[in-house]
Amino acid sequence: MTKKPNIVLIMADQLAPQFTGAYGHPLVKTPHMDAVAARGMRFDAAYCNAPLCAPSRFSFMSGQLVTRIAAYDNASEFPATVPTFAHYLRMMGYRTCLSGKMHFVGPDQLHGFEERLTTDIYPSDHAWTPDWELPDERIDHFYHNMDSVQTAGVAGTTFQIEYDEETAFFARRKIFEYKMNKVDPFCMVVSFIHPHDPYVARPEWWDLYDHAAIDMPANLDSTDPHSERLKVAIEADIAEITDEQVRNARHAYYANTSYFDSNVGKVVQALEESDQLDDTIVIVTSDHGDMLGERGLWYKMTFFEHGARVPLVMAGPGIAQGSNDAPCSLVDMLPTFIDMAAQGGEKPTLGMPLDGRSLFAEAQGAPAPDNAEAIGEYCAEAAPAHPILMIRRGRWKYIHCEVDPPQLFDVVADPAELINLAADPAHAEMAATFAVEVAERWDSAAISKNVIATQKQRRAVHAAMEQGAWTSWDYQPPRDASREFVRNTVSWDDVVYRMQYPPPPET
């Protein structure tokens, strides 16, 4: 058995691979992602399992699809009894650490991580619960609207910039601490909020781009039922948006993608400067994408390519150089981590069957299995009180909802998804086969019933928690500043040797 590698996963929020240099965008500058991809493997058909923050992250952490663990929306509890890759890696001898966002909802704010370096950026309670019994009712204090597009631009600081600065700082510090304290192996997740809207960037990132050169969305307006629901949900149907506001939003998004990329560089630099890069598998991904005005849509909540695809690049010991165009998804990361950690040795007993497959062999250059697939489930706001389901297999993507016409796309020949083949007589047999598979795989009526039941439970709990003394589930990072830096309880030399790498020479 070879040495267990360290694993460092760097996660963006709302980063569509189509808007990165690493995936071929002609304008967007992502040199650090490019470098990881150049020395490792780039997965070109990676998807989220739900195009919304919390459900996607719960699937990523647990290797379970949304409907298996009731991770329906951004206010669904992530049960403490669901094992995550952090639990399994701890069982395999890893130190596990989270810096940044993971949008855990519920009283368990660790989910297997031994250490958590920052608080989360979003609330951990049930306040953001949608209501499928009133699917057309907006909950204005958390539903998206078009403000992020109308107010896009430049600022010296934002709450998101402050958060990502802290996330990067504490991650970098911990990487050096691991080296100096001889912690080996470790798994660290460094999870940033950018380039998630608001589309506001600092001047140095905005100025990387010529404003006049920012490409505009393709002139296509989606009119399928779910797209029309999304426009209403984000108020795109009533907002007056100018071309200049669209260009500003895309400009800021590109700028914030470069800012995220700079933080990828900081993490990799810390690994390199602490002499750990050669022993570490580095992975860069996102929780979902951003439509960014394509098809008349913004943000996520759709299985169109810009909303559902994610970047996935990895490099490090044992990882081959190349690209892989087989469908995969974030639910595959848990079994991948286990294989990376096992290195041919013993694996932990699983607490639940997994919905994903390991990508480690493919990352080492092996071909993907013929039945490689990505499965998506959307059960949150703007859905019509029925789940929206996706199967991506081979070149085909099939999208199903009980009350909507089916959609079938050849995403290889038609990457912009302009032609719905579901009603094409030449593809009738394929569409029918997918329809049968959906009916066998999912019970949409039962899912809808359970979604509504959990929503009622969560609204009742939240209503009660708002009365009387408030007990917050939001994570409070432990910190004792009286024991940091130079204090009278330790010698100066001890602090110097403990906090400097490489350490000063012996005198």
Residues labelled catalytic: 53, 103
Give dist(CA 337, CA 81) in Å, integer: 20
Give dist(CA 382, CA 92) in Å, integer: 41
Give dist(CA 23, CA 33) in Å, integer: 9
| Ramachandran area for residue 18 (φ above 0: left; ψ -120 to 50: alpha; else beta) | alpha
Tracing tokens 């996330």 back to the chain, one arrives at: 167
Give the H/E segment covering residue 171.
helix 159-180
DSSP assignment of 338-379, as one string? HHHHHTTS--PPPSS--SS---HHHHTTPPPPTT-EEEEEE-
Give dist(CA 262, CA 224) in Å, integer: 38
| Ramachandran area for residue 38 (φ above 0: left; ψ -120 to 50: alpha; else beta) | alpha
Q: How many residues does the chain have?
A: 507
Give the H/E segment covering residue 336.
helix 333-342
DSSP-assigned beta bridge partners for residue 375: 391
Give dist(CA 366, CA 426) in Å, integer: 34
CB 182 within 8 A of CB 105: no
| Ramachandran area for residue 178 (φ above 0: left; ψ -120 to 50: alpha; else beta) | alpha
CB 179 within 8 A of CB 276: yes
